[in-house]
Every structure is written in C-alpha cells, then in structure tokens.
Structure 1
Amino acid sequence: MNERMQVEIWTDINCPFCYLGWNSFRTALEAFEHRDRIELVHRSFELDPAQPRGVSQSVIAHLAEQYELDLEQAAEGERTLAAKALTDGLEYVVADRDFGNTFDMHRMVHFAAESGRASEMLDAFFAANFADSRPLFGDPERIVEVAVGAGFDETAVREVLADEDRYAIDVRDDEELAVNFSIPGVPFVALDRHFVINGYEPPETVGEALQLAWDRYSGATSV
C-alpha cells in the first residue's frame, strides 16, 4: 500500500468561503480515523489575479462594484458571513477589512510547505484577513509581520518576498492545474483525485467524503 492518500485543497486568502471551508475540512480531518495517513497539499487559486500588487481597497467597496450592489447590500452580505463564521467558532471582522492581490501570500504558503508548515502560514493569513481589521494588502511589511508572527524566520521571509520569482512557478502550476481540472471556484478539495468537495460543506459532509475516498484508496492499494 502507498504511504498516504493525497488530499489537495485549492483556496484563496481573499475568499471567505475558503476561510470557512478550510476550518470545516480541518475539523473533519481531526476527527478522521486515518488522518495520519492523509497527505494534505495546499494549492493556490487567485479569485482576482488582475488585482495589482501594492494596492489595498475596501472589501465592501470591492464587493459592491463586482456584484453591482450598493454599499449596504455588500455590507449585509459580509454580516451574514460573519454570523456563519461565528457559529463555526471563527472570528470575522466586517468593518474596515480590505481586499487586494494575494500572489505573494500564495508564494509564502509554498515557502512554508517546504518545511511542512503550509497550514500554519495559511492560517496566519486567513486570521489576518478575516479576524483583524488592520489592512492586510498593499504593504509587504504586513506580510512579513503576519509570517513572522506565525513563527517563520524574518530573514527567510524577506528573502522570499524580495525575489518575485521564488515559488512563482509553484503558484502558476497550481492555477494551471485548476484550469485543467475545470475547477469552477474555491474552496475545492480533490480527494485522491477521485472524489471532490466543491465549495463550503459542513464537517459531517467532509468526513463522509474522506471516508468514501479512503475506502476506495485502501481497497485499491491493498491488492
């Protein structure tokens, strides 16, 4: 039998459903009997890759423009998501959150993956974006602050940010893979590339999908 079953999860730091979905997946994984036999791979997906680097804008203003809403309608949508996050045990700030390009943050997640700490880096950026009203985008120093706060070496973090080519191909490869798989949006989870979870699902549903994928995987690799 192969060592571990691979589970790939595409997310974007800008995506509130990814914030909720990753938390739901992790909850299900922690309760999964064979969790030690799961190889988790975080993959990059940019909701808006056309966003320029170094720019920060109000997330409510961005949502209003993108979906042709007025500001109050956009704010109400954020309040609905905040209420859902609260039921899942997550903090979610509505006022003053910002929106921007996530490419460098995805590069940082790949950097963290080299030491087996991709989840920690992703957690840090999700928390900085959704549970903290301070701006996250537009200033590379904020990325440094978040990464160092998560326990990563400051010199190494600055070296990655200073070299725009480092891990860039990894991000692009993930995004190309998403295109090849016709992934419609995120969060998107591929379990052993035979079962998928498309969008946010509660931990119970995720757990059922994990079990189905595991049953197939363990049966196929035991012969």
Structure 2
Amino acid sequence: MKVEIWSDVMCPFCYIGKRRFEDALQQFAHNDKVEVEWKSFQLNPNMQTDPSTNINQYLADAKGWTIDYARQMNAHVTQMAAEVGLEYNMDNAVVANSFKAHRFTHLAKKHGLGAQAEEQLFKAYFTNGKNIDDTDTLAELGQTIGLNTDEVKQALDSNQFADDVRHDIAEAQYLGIQGVPFFVMNEKYAVSGAQAVPVFVQTLDKAFEEWNAQQNKPGMTIIEGDTCDVNGKC
C-alpha cells in the first residue's frame, strides 16, 4: 500500500508529523507492505534566502507579528518537537528558499534514498542551523546518505529535477492540499497535520483493509474465442 507525504523542509510540524507517522508505522502490523513516497510542497515559494536574517525577525516581518510573539511560537513548536525526541534550535535556523532542497530530495528519490534525504534536511534545518539552499551543504548531506557529491552538485547547479518539484506542487493543488504535512494513504484516505499517533494507526488500518481486499479479488475469468491481436494476427 502506498502512502504519499507532502511536506516542506521549513515546516516545523512536518518533522514532528514525520516522527509521529514513523511511530505509527512501527505499531502497524503490516508495515512491511507499506511504500512511503515523499512529495514536494512549498509554503513560501517567493522566500528570498538570507542567512543574515534571524528567523524570529523574518516571521515577525512576514506575518505581522511582534518579535516576542514569534519567539513564543518557535518555543511552542520546539517543545512539541522535544516530546517526540527532536531537538529544534530555532534561533539558528537559516532563512532559505526550499526549492533547491526539494530538487535534492528528488535526486535522492531517484536512488531510493528519498526518506533518508528528508530526514537529513529536517535535521540540517531545525537542529544544525544549516542553509538548505546552499549547494555545498546539500552535497555534504547527500554524502551522508550515500549519494555522490559530484552528482549532487552537477544536478543542483543545473535545473535538473525542477519539473519534478513543480509536478508535486501541481498535484497538491489538484488534490486541494493547502497545508502540510499531508498524508495520503491508498489514494483514498488523508491525514492533515502532525496528528497524534493513534490517528495515523487508525487510518493505516482502514486504508490497508480496503487495499488488501482489492489485492485479493479474484482475477478476471476469460472465455477464449476467435480474436485479432495488436500485431494484426487473426
């Protein structure tokens, strides 16, 4: 059964949602039959990368908040992250456009390393204060998961995988996805947000039950007769 997850590396709830979903998957009896695919989504496609700007100041300016309120919001998500074993250092987060990072994940996905790339990107952004719009930084992250650094740099220095990112974003718009994280199970059931683990478990159970029933349906019974095939043979 396929689970598709739309997320943005800059979204604090996406990393938290990732951990909660992973916890649910561990509890799910049929997790060996689940295929997870990460999809791209940009919360702020027009964001300009600016390592000199503090994230609290950026949020205050972008959302019309006070600096104190921005700090309170970041302290809140930091506490939420700690509850699932994640360390957020929001004061060190680098204001960066995420499009290049999404291209990086598609390169990783090509090598079967999409989930590993997502984990490293989240950790780089929220924990280690790395610039996820920097090619050298992404090449280093790629090396940690087994990618060739030269391949990463060549891909990111070109426009490679840009269409893949745009396709994911367009698909999200078609599905009506307006926020992330967004989990789609068996192309039928969706979970929006960093929900509690039991919500994910219940949805996995329901989606899998229907998916499994579909797989176990008997094949078509064919009564053979005179035909013409695609090669023109009759």
Say whether the fold is shared (TM-score over 0.5).
yes
- Which residue of 151, 162, 182 corresponds with 2:146? 151
Map of 2:221 onto structure 1: none
Structure 1 residue 68 and structure 2 residue 79: aligned?
no
Matches within 5 A, 1:92-131: 92-131=88-127
Structure 1 residue 77 and structure 2 residue 73: aligned?
yes
Residue 95 of structure 1: SS of its match in structure 2? helix
- Which residue of 171, 180, 183 corresponds with 1:186? 180
Asked whether the 8 Å contact 1:10–1:189 carries over to 2, the reply is: yes
* Structure 2 Cα separation of the partners of residues 204 and 99 of structure 1: 34
* Structure 2 Cα separation of the partners of residues 174 and 75 of structure 1: 32
Asked whether the 8 Å contact 2:121–2:132 carries over to 1, the reply is: no
Structure with larger RCO (C-alpha < 8 A, sep 6+): 1
* Cα 1:138–1:194 shift into 2, 3 Å: closer
Q: Which runs of 5+ in 1 are unaligned?
A: none
Asked whether the 8 Å contact 2:25–2:31 carries over to 1, the reply is: yes
Q: Which runs of 5+ in 2 are unaligned?
A: 218-234
* Structure 2 Cα separation of the partners of residues 137 and 70 of structure 1: 26
Residue 39 of structure 2: SS of its match in structure 1? strand
Map of 2:167 onto structure 1: 173
Residue 91 of structure 2: SS of its match in structure 1? coil
* Cα 1:67–1:95 shift into 2, 3 Å: same
Residue 116 of structure 1: SS of its match in structure 2? coil
Tell me the C-alpha RMSD between the 2 structures: 1.4
Identity over aligned pairs, percent: 28
- Which residue of 22, 25, 38 corresponds with 1:26? 22
* Structure 2 Cα separation of the partners of residues 145 and 73 of structure 1: 34
Map of 1:208 onto structure 2: 202
Asked whether the 8 Å contact 2:89–2:126 carries over to 1, the reply is: yes
Q: TM-score, normalised by structure 1?
A: 0.92
Per-residue deviation, 1:98: 1.7
- Which residue of 184, 198, 201 corresponds with 2:192? 198
Residue 99 of structure 1: SS of its match in structure 2? coil
Q: TM-score, normalised by structure 2?
A: 0.88
Which ranges of 4 or more aligned residues in structure 1 deviate by more than 4 Å?
A: none
How many residue pairs align between the two structures?
216
Residue 21 of structure 1: SS of its match in structure 2? helix
- Which residue of 87, 97, 107 corresponds with 2:83? 87
Amino acid at match of 1:124: Q
* Structure 2 Cα separation of the partners of residues 94 and 63 of structure 1: 11
Map of 2:131 onto structure 1: 136
- Which residue of 54, 60, 67 corresponds with 1:58? 54
Asked whether the 8 Å contact 1:55–1:138 carries over to 2, the reply is: no
* Structure 2 Cα separation of the partners of residues 138 and 94 of structure 1: 17
